[in-house]
Amino acid sequence: MKIEISAEAESDIERGFWFYESQEPGIGDYFRSSVFADIESLVIHGGSHILVEGYHRKVCKTFPFNIYYEMMSENSLLIIAVIGQRENRKPK
């Protein structure tokens, strides 16, 4: 499965990185690697997650974030947003 990440989702990951990095140096790197591991799991499990706001939502395993994605075809998907569970924001 081919996985693409939108510019907005990349920006979301970067904001999450800096939030956690400001808490304690090194946690930002752990956040980023954890989110990318969750994204990589979509190679196998893409399309199997619940639909929310018209997008599939995968709950991250380690950090309180949700990955929203859209199936583009049977063999590809697009990550739309990576949103903290406490954020009052919908994926676009």
Q: Is residue 67 part of a domain?
A: yes
Q: Residue 67: which region, alpha, beta or left (left: phi > 0; alpha: psi -120 to 50)?
A: beta
**Domain of 21, in residue numbers:** 2-84
Mind listing the pLDDT tens digit for each residue in 73-88? 999 999 999 999 999 8
Arithmetic mean of pLDDT, 48-56: 96
Q: Is residue 39 part of a domain?
A: yes
Query: 40, exposed or middle or buried, with CB in 10 Å at 0-12, 13-18, 19+?
Result: exposed
**Main-chain dihedrals φ then ψ at residue 42, nearest 5 degrees:** -70, -15
Mind listing the pLDDT tens digit for each residue in 11-44? 999 999 999 999 999 999 999 999 999 999 999 9
DSSP summary character for residue 92: -
- pTM, two decimal places: 0.95
CATH number of the domain where residue 52 is located: 3.30.2310.20
Tally of structural domains, the chain: 1
Q: Is residue 12 part of a domain?
A: yes
Q: Is residue 69 part of a domain?
A: yes
Q: Is residue 14 part of a domain?
A: yes
Q: Which two tokens stand for residue 89?
A: 């924001």
Q: Is residue 63 part of a domain?
A: yes
Q: Is residue 47 part of a domain?
A: yes
Q: Is residue 42 part of a domain?
A: yes
The dihedral through the CA atoms of 14, 20, 24, 27 has a sign that is negative
